[in-house]
Amino acid sequence: MHFISTRGGSLGQFCDALLEGLAPNGGLAVPEQMPHLDAADLERWRSLGYADLATEVIGLFATDIARDDLSRLCHAAYGAPTFGSDEVVPLTDIGDGMTLVGLSEGPTLAFKDIAMQFLGEVIEHVLSRTGDVLNVLGATSGDTGSAAEHALHGRDRVAIFMLSPQDRMSAFQRAQMYSLHDDNVHNIAIEGVFDDCQNLVKRLTSDIDFKRAHNIGAVNSINFGRISAQIVYYIWAWLRVTDALPAAERTGFEVSFAVPSGNFGNILSGHYARLMGLPIRKLVLASNENNVLDDFFRTGHYRPRDAAGTLATSSPSMDVSRASNLERFVFDLLGRDPERTAAEWHQLDESNEIDLADQQQRFRTEFGLVSGTSTHADRLATIRETFERSGVTIDPHTADGVTIARDHVENDVPMLVLETAKPEKFADTITEALGTAVEPDAETRALLDAPQRVTAMPDDEQQLRAFISAHALH
């Protein structure tokens, strides 16, 4: 399979796109043609364990990796040593017609471990094959950074430079990142918000000479390797929900997914699964108070906020105002036309707005995408109600998903809510919601007490360039 840029031009095969990050013209890697699933494929995969299913699904995109190698990489990424059991993604009924898709069983207790564990394995495989090195430059609003660092720390051919917003993450999130002292891990706390971090990353990765000179790559959600790995759990969840159905009723059986969303990467994977043929009725996007995406899907107008307008909320990993992966959806919306997509993003850069109001009805009718906004009060109430109803404690981001999912539950259509993280990562909010303090276990206390190493830096492109130049692998 070949990959192209959303703004035009070929990017080679999967391994080429994996290491590229942003395309040279600023676009994002997408498959030249989306693979198609039929009922026979899904039934053939029904009996597979998670690692074998990942091999099949990712293999549709990674056609330049030998199947035996891909199987080895997937089995190294997914299994009991990393995720506690070979199930990897458990499903739990939480009542009111909703099922929780457990995506937070990995080492950093967040859904991003699932894609990152695969990415760590496949990047090392590609680099060992080519003899190259990679300097990963990324930005995190909370969970991407720790998941990436725990997947890549200690690897010989990779260094990671992770930008995070100062004082905008939970104590647990900071500890997971800053307590890593490996020589190849560089944490940089930027004065500002997540979008400031993300803008710095985009400016440096758009400088082709700097990018090539320092072997810069990306592992945030613009990396298609992550997107392909996330498609797997949509298919896994559909298979598990339909396991109990008579065989004759499985074909075309629709489910809906509710997805807490900040950078649009997780729900984009669901969009791709639906395009591939997975029977998805609705994709329910849940925003927090930084509801730029909800505004877009309600009106067709996309207006990112500036740093001053980006709120600090109790679901901090979603405190994002400019969603990188939205460009991939707009590319599909515009008939996969790279010239129109490039023109829209040029307009976004010029005026900080995209007007696609004439396309808004298609969001729901053609792509099944609906959206809503959840507030701090909603999160607290939903955490409390979910616990009282099911005995399950959910984190604030997942609570955003449950809050918005309720409005879209339909009879005979299972609503699957994608879990974002374990609740212990956000102890203060859980305590506020349930009225009792969350007592950290010994492992959590040790993590919070561990020495931390981080470099504080202003929102300054030149300082960041100098730091990377001084510490990058060559």
* 40 CB burial (10 A radius; 0-12, 13-18, 19+): exposed
Give the domains, in start order, of the chain with CATH numbers.
Answer: 91-108+226-434 (3.40.50.1100)
| β-strand partners of 5 | 29
- Beta-carbon-side half-sphere exposure of residue 116 (alpha carbons within 13 Å): 31
Determine how many CB atoms are found less than 10 A away from the CB of residue 356. 17
**Reduced to 3 states, what is the DSSP secondary structure of residue 231?**
helix
H or E element, residue 424: none
Q: At what angle do helices 224-242 and 265-276 cross, to 10 degrees?
A: 60
What's the CA gap between 235 and 53, in Å, rounded? Answer: 9
Structure tokens at 320: 């994002």
> Which residues are catalytic, by number?
112
pLDDT per position in the chain (474 positions), as tens? 999 999 999 999 999 998 877 788 999 999 999 999 999 999 999 999 999 999 999 999 999 999 999 999 999 999 899 999 999 999 999 999 999 999 999 999 999 999 999 999 999 999 999 899 999 999 987 778 899 999 999 999 999 999 999 988 888 889 999 999 999 999 999 999 988 998 999 899 889 899 999 999 888 778 999 999 999 999 999 999 999 999 999 999 999 999 999 999 999 999 999 999 999 999 999 999 999 999 999 999 999 998 889 999 999 889 988 998 999 999 999 999 999 999 999 999 999 999 999 999 999 999 999 999 999 999 999 999 999 999 999 999 999 999 999 999 999 999 999 999 999 889 999 999 999 887 888 888 898 899 999 999 999 999 999 999 999 999
Residue 104: what are its φ and ψ, rounded to 5°?
A: -120, 40
CB-neighbour burial class of residue 36 (10 A; exposed 0-12, middle 13-18, buried 19+): exposed
Q: What is the DSSP string of 364-393?
A: HHTT-EEEEE--HHHHHHHHHHHHHHHS--
For residue 373, the cross-strand partners are 287
Angle of the 67-77 helix axis to the 50-59 helix axis, nearest 10: 140
